[in-house]
Each structure stands twice: as C-alpha cells, then as structure tokens.
A and B are shown apart, each in its own frame.
Chain A
Amino acid sequence: MIMTFDDLLPLMPLLIVTATSVLAMLMIGVRRSYIVTASITITGLLAATLVAISMMDWTNQQITPLLIIDQYSLLFTVLVCSSAMLIAILSFSYFFELDDHKEEFFLLLTIATIGAIVMVSSNHFVSTVLGLETLSMSLYGMIAYPMHSKQSAKFPLEASVKYLVLSAAASGFILFGMALIYAQTGTLSFASLTDLPVAAVSLGDGYSIVALLMITAGMAFKLSLAPFHMWTPDVYEGSPIPATAYLATIGKAAMIVVLLRFIRASDSLNFDSMVTVLTLVAAASMLVGNLLALQQDNLKRILAYSSIAHMGYLLLALVASHYATGTLAVEAVTFYLIAYVITSLGAFGVVSVISSSEKEFDSIKEYRGLFWRNPWLASIFIAMLLSLAGIPLTVGFIGKFYIFLAGVESDLWMLLAVLVLGSGIGLYYYLRIVYRMLMTEKHKIPYRAGGVESVSAYGVLAILLSLLLLFGVYPAPIMSLVAAASAFI
C-alpha cells in the first residue's frame, strides 16, 4: 500500500506527539533543562489536542488496514492528548524537587501517549498490540521513576515489577486469544471479525469462546476488573501520583475503546456465555471494588478500589450495548469514560498538588481540616469525590444517568440492582474523606509550601473543576458530540 500525503494528514495528532517525543529526547541530549523539556511536552500535546479537535468534523478515513481515524477515535485522541497534557503539568510540580534526572519522565509520558492514540484509533489486532505494548512499556518506566529518590517512602520499583510481570502475562493471554481467532478466520482486522459466529458454526462454539475469553481476561486485567483486580491497589499506591493518574485515566480509557470496538465488531455478545461472563465480571467488580474500599485509609488505595467499581459500571453499559437499540449504550460508555477521566484526574490532581515526589500525602488522616485551611483545594476535592459518587451538579451524575438509562433500556435489572447497592456502599467511603476535610484540625500538618512551580497545577485543577461543573449542569453540547461520535462505532 502506498501512503500519500492525504493519508498522512489524518495522522497529524499522532505525528505531532511522535515529533514531540523525538524533540524532547534530542533536547535532553543537548542540554538538560527541566522547564524546557516540560514546555516542549506540554506544547506538543496541546498542539495535538487542538489539531485533533479541528479535524473532528471532516475526518473519517481508514489509514492502512491498521488505523481508523473517525470522529470516535478523534474524540478519544482529544481526551488522551489533553489528559496527558494536564498530567504533564501536574508532574512538573510533583517532580520539581526530585533529586535525580527528571526530564525523562516527560519522554516516557509522551511515548505512552503515542501508544494510547494508536489504541483508540486501532481496528486491527496488530495495531492494538503495538499500541498496548508501547503504552505499557512506558508505564513500567513511569511507575518506577522515582526509584533512586532516597526520601521516597513508597515502593515504586515493587509496583513497577508487579505491574510488569502481571501485565506481560495479560498481554500473553490477549495474544493467544488473537492467535486462536486468526486460526479460525484468517484475519486480524476487526472489520472481518463478523465471520467469527460463522466460523464458530464450522469449528464448534468452544473454540471461539476460548479465544474470546482469553482476550477478555487479558483486557479485564488491564482494566482492573474483578477477579483480575489484585494488582491495582498495590500498583496505585506504589507509583508516583502522575504515573498513577496516567494509568488510571488514559491507560483505562484507551483499553475500553479497544474493547468496545472489538466487542461491537466481532458480535461476541451473540455468544450467550460471553454475556454471562461479562455480567458476572461487572457485578463482581462493582461489589468487590466498593466493599474493599470501605476499610482503606490510604487515598490512593481508595481510588484504586473505586476505579475497580467504576470499571464495573462501565462494563454494565458495555453489556447493555448488545441489547439497546441505537447507539445509546455506546454513548453511555463514552460519556461515562469522559466523566471518569475528568473526575479521576481531578482527584489525583488534588493529591498531587499537596504532595511531591519526596513526600506524598496519601493517608486520609492528613486531610483532616483541609476545608478550613485551604477551602479552594478542599472544595475541588469534594466536588471530585461527589462526582465519583454520582451526585448532581457534577459530570459524574450525568455519567451515572447514562449508565442507568442504558441499563433500563436493556432490561438489565439485576445489574442495576447491584449498581444501586454498589453506589450506596461507595457513598460511605467518599463521604468519609469529605468528612475528614470538614473536621476541625487538631494539629497543623506541614504541607508542601507550594512554590511558584505549583501555580500551573492549581490551574489544571481549576480547568478540571470548570469542566466538571459545565458538563454536569449544561451537558447538551458534549451530549450531542458524544452522540455524533458514537454513531461511528
């Protein structure tokens, strides 16, 4: 296949991010400067975001058999690039005091973003694996990044190795499943997977189901769905906060998009056993995530368990996509994902603003009285927590609304009951944190003074808060955008 210039144009966001990473690498080689490397990264990601936004109205093109650039992948390219940019800004102040080479973190972050963009644009197994591995490889590095830092009380190396081993095993499962599918259909493209039910007839259901189960299990691991969730709290707790935020938001969003495209293209839910498996996984995730979060005192662990539950909510909508008419369930997945990314970034952002690579404030005890000491920061955190809990005025509520609507439309009453139960339990641990912040403080806790370097981080939080309120109170524009994009799935 011959690539022409016209083919390159839709790839602009990807190319910009790639160029950014090359530029940042060369820059580090020429002269180490933390602020310059950070600026290059942030500018590059901002440019990619803006270009992707401008392309959204007119681009719908399959570039080579590997990548599809349509409105849906562009929507997520925007989400990925803008989130990566915000995380880059947060990491700038987080790593400011790190007593080691700091610049390469931005390099890893940019490369991970390349992987994520490939994943959200992928409709072929090969590009899925390429994107997934690029993303994961960079994440191993990001998680272990402050390993030489003497004061760091956390265990970045342990977290990284844990994630490396388990993630590689999960990738192995995914590859094996892909191989089995290839053996039946002779193709690796999602578009040709509609033959799968046909092939299943000739070879017997079992063969396809094993393949689908292996892929699902591997992806469920990456999404930290129960019962593949064990790694999540440890890795979240051990990683530096920007890496945790990246893993929790972009890492999962990209994986969900692949899973959604794969499931929709392959009609896997035509197999009843697949529906049963996904239903059980969704229910287990909602319950396990929320129940295990109850007894935690570490914020990162709470957010880890809550993310397990949130992935369970998302899976409910994914199951609903099999029954619901039109694109409603796909819209639900999409909107909820956007809401989840905004909210999680905000929550991790608050923790990151008062922490640094040398001292992380991640025990909920340390948040006692924050509301009276720093009302703005605490208000932002409360808004994020209420959004995670799905309370109105926040984007999280509209997301929940979508999930409920998709569930009702598909008659998934059992899953809805579990959702209500899970959200009810969830309220308890979100409110526990809120209550801590409202208490009067007993003794002063020495937070980081918050120098000039954290001004931009406060800016990030302000942006996220405005998005949270805007999408929560007047979601009509983003709703129609999501609806238009979802038509492409």
Chain B
Amino acid sequence: MILVVLISILFFGGVLAWLSEGLDSKYPRVIALTAVVIDLLVMLTLVGADAGDSGWIVQLNAQWMPRFGISFYLAADGLSVLMMVLTAFLGAVAIGSAWDEITEKTGFFYFNLLWTLAGVIGVFTALDLFLFFFFWEVMLIPMYFIIAIWGHENKNYAAMKFFIFTQVTGMLMLISILALTYFHYLQFGWFSFDYVDLLKVNTSSAIEMWIMLGFFVSFSTKLPSFPFHSWLPDAHSQAPTAGSVILAGVLLKTGAYGLIRFAIPLFPEASMTFAPFAMTLAVISILYCAKVAFAQTDIKRLIAYTSVSHMGFVLLGIYAWSEQALQGAVMTMLAHGLSAAALFMLAGGLQHRIHTRDMDHMGGFWAKVPRLSFVALFFSVAALGMPGLGNFVGEFLALLGAFKANIGLTVAAAFGLIFASVYSLWVIQKVFHGAYRNSDFDDSNLHDLSRREMFYFCAMMIGLIWMGMYPQSFLDLSAETIAQLLNETGQVLFAVGL
C-alpha cells in the first residue's frame, strides 16, 4: 500500500501543482518540492527494512485485467528502494535547479516533472510485466513535454528523437513480453504477466535468444549503449536543466535496472550466451563515447557522451553477472546519478548565466566565479573516478567483477578511466583556467553560485563522499537482492551446465 501512496503523492501533487498556477505562478514549485520531499521521507522508512520470507520489503498485488492474468503488482526489495531514494533525491534537486530557471508555464512544468518521477518509481517497483511496460511508456510522455516545451533551440527534433527511439524499442520489448507470456500459456494453460510466474517458464534456446534481444534492445536504448545512444546527446543538450538532471540521473538507470531485474533473470541461458557481445558493446560505449566526448565543443553534449561512456561500465558489470560486478554496477548507477546530474546542473547554470553552451567561448572562469569552478572541479574529478568518491568504488568493483568473466574486454574497458581523466581535466582547463575572455557573450549575469545552489551541490557532494568513503552502507542494501538474483539464475545455469 505504501508504494501506491508514494506514486499517488507524485500523481496528485502534479495535478495540484498544475491547478495552483492559476493562483500564483510561484505556488507550483513549492507544491512540487513538498510532494517530492514527503515522498523521500516516506521512502526512507523502507531503507534497510527486513525483507522477510517473500524477499520483498513491501508488496501489493491486486487483480487488474483478469482476462489475461494481468495484476497490479507492486513490490520493492533493497535494490528498488535504493533506486527509489535516488529518484526522489534527484527529483528534489531537479526542482531546485528549475526554481529560478523555469519562469513560463510553471504549473505544467512541475506537473510533468512529478509525473515523470511517478512513472520512474512505478518502473522501479512494478513486478507485473504489463504494469512495468505501462509505467515504462507513461514516463516518456511528460519527459517529451519537458523537452518539447521548455527546451532550447532545436527542441522539436530532440524531443521527437527521444520519443521515437524509446517508443519503437519499447514495442520490441512488448512483443518479447507477449511472447514470454504466450510460452507461459502454452506450458501452464493460463495467461500470466506475473514476474514470479514468468521466471518459471522454460523456453527453447533459439527463441529465448530472440525474446531476450527484445528486452535487451529496449533497455540498452534507455541505458544508453552503443549503437542506440544517438538520441541522448540531442535530448540532453536541448532539455532544460531539470530535464537533463532527471534524464541523466534517473531515466537512464531504469534501463540498467531493467537488465538486472528482468532481462537476465528471465533468460539466464540466452543472456550468458549473449554476455560477450553485450560486454563488447559496453567496451565500445566506454571507449568510443569517451573519444567522441573529447571532440565536442557543446558542454552539454560533452557531458552527455561521458554519460554514455560511464553507463558502459554499468552494462559491463551487469553482464559479468557476479556479485562484485553487480555491486559495482549498482554503485556506479548511484554515483553517476549524482555526478552527472551535478555536471548537467553546472552546465545548465552556466548556460543560464551567459546564454551559450559553446566551450570555445569560455575560459578563465575561476577568477570570476570561484565557487562554481570549485564545484565543477569536484564533480569532474568524481566523474573521472578519483578514489575516495563514489564513482571510483563503482567502476572499480565493476571492473574487478568483469575481470573474472572476460580479461581482454576488462583490460580494454579500464582504458576508459584514463580517457575520462583526459576529457574531464581538459574541460576544466578550457573553461575555468587560462585568461578570462568575455568577448563573445554578455557577462553581466555571470555571478557565482547562490546559497540555494550551494546547498544542493553540497548535498550531492556529501552523497558522493559518503559513497566513496563508506560504500558498505549502500552495498548492504542491495546485497540481498543481488544474492537472490544470482542464486536463482545460478540454479538454472547449473541445470543446463553453463
């Protein structure tokens, strides 16, 4: 029941925010922030709770469409709770970043923001595959509106591309889901979309591979992984800051979550056969997108490509499918959620101040805006994998786990860390060091971070330092889920001798 409450707070908070615009255009942001903070507080009661025998901390199962065995089945375990907390935390941060930036049509903006978050929380908790797909698609529409209405110069193209990429690959996943339920129907004589039921389905390996690929394509588009990543730089560079924060921090993680929760456990055999290919794609993402990032002059596009590169480590860790690798993947998801969100906010903040994203026009900002520059340095260093911060723990564990699975690919992937240092420090050098140039833009608005901005950047810094210094507190939360997933797939794989 608590999960329904979490989702409804965001749903109704969104509606309320929209309606309140009629009274005063400043009300929506207050209502939105209140809703997200309440959600976050409620979620915190679930953190570290005992899962009990069922393996789920909380669950709710109600009939929805009995004709096809579709139920309204929500449940959360340690992994889901971790992801939900990340979602709500970044949701609050996103509202903070939109606080002054969004001045037009505020009601509808916060409505969309909250509905996106509600959809994401639905994705992280749905255990009925139909319901999962439902939320998966529902979160796209408000995100489309955010990009299409409040985006920058090329928003129509970016929003359309984002929507078509995710929707078309989503349809492939729908076909896969239906094929899987049909196999369930053939074996057991009734339709079911229940995750627990579908885990029991045996499929012949030839077809299993095709069904699994449907899931993989959809999830790796969202992740995104090479070769399905090309929507991301466009979406990020055109989206308003809050949109980028949600996209990078939360939406990308739904792809990784889908792989961990659905793609591999439902099809262990096909996934293990496919793992070398997936890991190769991951390595290509890491190296290729790091290289492409280096070639960008648009600061938001650059960060977008580094996102693809970092998510490559997540994909690598997931398909290594061992405890360390999965812990690394989850840790990278959390740490990257914070660091990428912070970097997009910095880029968005700069764009808001000087109305350009072109790095060729920037330089020597350290003297002018020291606090902003320091924060940028901190998060760049976090993103490049400095020991002591969360990203390092995640990427290190992912590589460590992957090393056992595939030495060659892991060695290649490790070069990604070096590339990351190169482009991160290059950005710092280019934008913040050197001589100050303001010939290309009007710098009258170029002021340092405000107290409000410092507040949420500090919150994110504390998060990253905590993850880096005492990662165990996060690892413990997802450990039980990961152990259970490994155990289930292990049994299947053992039975077929893999």
Q: Are A420 and B172 in contact (CB under 8 A)?
A: yes
The answer for the CA separation of A432 and B445 in the assembled complex, in Å, is 36
B residues within 8 A CB of A392? 133-134, 137-138
The smallest C-beta distance from B188 to any residue of chain A, in angstroms, reads 15
Point out which of B67, B137, B159 has the most chain A C-beta atoms below 10 A from its C-beta: B67
B residues within 8 A CB of A401? 130, 174, 178
Instruction: Render A405-424 as a binary contact track against B, CB cut-off 8 A, 1 for contact.
Output: 10011000000100110011
Q: Are B174 and A438 in contact (CB under 8 A)?
A: no
The answer for the CA separation of A471 and B175 in the assembled complex, in Å, is 21
The smallest C-beta distance from A397 to any residue of chain B, in angstroms, reads 8
Q: Are A479 and B171 in contact (CB under 8 A)?
A: no
Asked if B160 is an interface residue, CB under 8 A from chain A, the answer is yes
Q: Are B148 and A435 in contact (CB under 8 A)?
A: yes
Return the chain A residue nearest B67 by Cβ: A479
Asked if B474 is an interface residue, CB under 8 A from chain A, the answer is no
Q: Are A427 and B175 in contact (CB under 8 A)?
A: no
Asked if A199 is an interface residue, CB under 8 A from chain B, the answer is no
Q: Are B174 and A404 in contact (CB under 8 A)?
A: yes
The answer for the CA separation of A423 and B105 in the assembled complex, in Å, is 31
Q: Are B167 and A424 in contact (CB under 8 A)?
A: yes
Q: Are B163 and A427 in contact (CB under 8 A)?
A: yes
Selected from A409, A431, A474, the residue in CB contact (under 8 A) with B182 is A409
The answer for the CA separation of A427 and B164 in the assembled complex, in Å, is 7
Also in contact, A416 and B175, with CB within 8 A (given A372-B105, A476-B65, A480-B67): yes
The smallest C-beta distance from B219 to any residue of chain A, in angstroms, reads 17
The secondary structure that dominates the A interface is helix
Asked if A393 is an interface residue, CB under 8 A from chain B, the answer is yes
Asked if A386 is an interface residue, CB under 8 A from chain B, the answer is yes
Q: Are B65 and A435 in contact (CB under 8 A)?
A: no
B residues within 8 A CB of A424? 164, 167-168, 171
A residues within 8 A CB of B145? 438
Also in contact, A427 and B138, with CB within 8 A (given A435-B159, A435-B160): no
A residues within 8 A CB of B163? 427, 431
Count how many chain A residues have C-beta atoms less than 8 Å from C-beta atoms of the other chain. Answer: 30
A residues within 8 A CB of B134? 392-393
Asked if B156 is an interface residue, CB under 8 A from chain A, the answer is yes
Instruction: Render A366-389 as a binary contact track against B, CB cut-off 8 A, 1 for contact.
Output: 000000100000000000001001
A residues within 8 A CB of B167? 389, 391, 423-424, 427
B residues within 8 A CB of A397? 137
B residues within 8 A CB of A420? 168, 171-172, 175
CB proximity to A under 8 Å, residues B150-178? 156, 159-160, 163-164, 167-168, 171-172, 174-175, 178
Asked if B441 is an interface residue, CB under 8 A from chain A, the answer is no
Asked if B414 is an interface residue, CB under 8 A from chain A, the answer is no
Q: Are A386 and B148 in contact (CB under 8 A)?
A: no
Q: Are B138 and A408 in contact (CB under 8 A)?
A: no
Selected from B68, B130, B141, B159, the residue in CB contact (under 8 A) with A391 is B141
The answer for the CA separation of A427 and B168 in the assembled complex, in Å, is 9
The answer for the CA separation of A404 and B130 in the assembled complex, in Å, is 13
Return the chain B residue nearest A393 by Cβ: B138
Asked if B149 is an interface residue, CB under 8 A from chain A, the answer is yes
Also in contact, A438 and B171, with CB within 8 A (given A409-B182, A428-B164, A476-B66): no
The answer for the CA separation of A480 and B138 in the assembled complex, in Å, is 25
The smallest C-beta distance from B171 to any residue of chain A, in angstroms, reads 5
The answer for the CA separation of A434 and B140 in the assembled complex, in Å, is 14
Asked if A483 is an interface residue, CB under 8 A from chain B, the answer is yes
CB proximity to B under 8 Å, residues A446-489? 474-476, 479-480, 483
Return the chain A residue nearest B165 by Cβ: A424
The smallest C-beta distance from A386 to any residue of chain B, in angstroms, reads 7
B residues within 8 A CB of A480? 66-67
Return the chain A residue nearest B179 by Cβ: A408
The answer for the CA separation of A408 and B179 in the assembled complex, in Å, is 6
Asked if B64 is an interface residue, CB under 8 A from chain A, the answer is yes
The answer for the CA separation of A208 and B230 in the assembled complex, in Å, is 52
Q: Are A476 and B164 in contact (CB under 8 A)?
A: no
Q: Are A483 and B172 in contact (CB under 8 A)?
A: no
Point out which of B134, B145, B171 has the most chain A C-beta atoms below 10 A from its C-beta: B171
Return the chain A residue nearest B136 by Cβ: A392
The answer for the CA separation of A441 and B414 in the assembled complex, in Å, is 51
B residues within 8 A CB of A409? 182
B residues within 8 A CB of A405? 68, 178, 182
Return the chain B residue nearest A405 by Cβ: B178
Return the chain B residue nearest A409 by Cβ: B182
The answer for the CA separation of A362 and B178 in the assembled complex, in Å, is 38
CB proximity to A under 8 Å, residues B38-92? 63-68
A residues within 8 A CB of B64? 474, 476
A residues within 8 A CB of B179? 408
The answer for the CA separation of A480 and B70 in the assembled complex, in Å, is 13
B residues within 8 A CB of A474? 64
The answer for the CA separation of A435 and B67 in the assembled complex, in Å, is 36
Q: Are B178 and A438 in contact (CB under 8 A)?
A: no
The answer for the CA separation of A424 and B130 in the assembled complex, in Å, is 20
Q: Are A404 and B175 in contact (CB under 8 A)?
A: yes
A residues within 8 A CB of B65? 475-476, 479
The smallest C-beta distance from A270 to any residue of chain B, in angstroms, reads 24
The answer for the CA separation of A428 and B159 in the assembled complex, in Å, is 11
Q: Are A438 and B138 in contact (CB under 8 A)?
A: no
The answer for the CA separation of A416 and B140 in the assembled complex, in Å, is 23
Return the chain A residue nearest B149 by Cβ: A438
Q: Are A423 and B168 in contact (CB under 8 A)?
A: yes
Return the chain A residue nearest B178 by Cβ: A408
The smallest C-beta distance from B490 to any residue of chain A, in angstroms, reads 30
A residues within 8 A CB of B137? 391-392, 397
Point out which of A386, A420, A428, A483 has the most chain B C-beta atoms below 10 A from its C-beta: A420
The smallest C-beta distance from B174 to any residue of chain A, in angstroms, reads 6
The answer for the CA separation of A233 and B225 in the assembled complex, in Å, is 41
B residues within 8 A CB of A432? 160
B residues within 8 A CB of A435? 148, 156, 159-160
B residues within 8 A CB of A483? 67
The answer for the CA separation of A241 and B67 in the assembled complex, in Å, is 37
Return the chain B residue nearest A482 by Cβ: B67
Selected from A372, A408, A434, the residue in CB contact (under 8 A) with B175 is A408
A residues within 8 A CB of B172? 420
B residues within 8 A CB of A428? 160, 164
The answer for the CA separation of A201 and B333 in the assembled complex, in Å, is 66
B residues within 8 A CB of A416? 175
Return the chain A residue nearest B144 by Cβ: A431
The answer for the CA separation of A476 and B163 in the assembled complex, in Å, is 28
The smallest C-beta distance from B69 to any residue of chain A, in angstroms, reads 12
The answer for the CA separation of A255 and B175 in the assembled complex, in Å, is 29
Q: Are B168 and A404 in contact (CB under 8 A)?
A: no
Given contacts A431-B164, A435-B148, could you give 13 more A-B pairs where the C-beta distance is less than 8 Å?
A: A389-B167, A391-B141, A392-B133, A393-B134, A393-B138, A397-B137, A401-B130, A420-B168, A423-B168, A427-B164, A432-B160, A479-B65, A480-B67
The 7 closest A-B pairs by CB, nearest first: A424-B168, A408-B178, A479-B67, A392-B137, A420-B171, A392-B134, A476-B65
5 sampled A-B residue pairs with Cβ under 8 A: A401-B178, A424-B164, A427-B167, A431-B159, A434-B148
Task: Give the interface of B toward A (CB within 8 A).
Answer: 63-68, 105, 130, 133-134, 137-138, 140-141, 144-145, 148-149, 156, 159-160, 163-164, 167-168, 171-172, 174-175, 178-179, 182
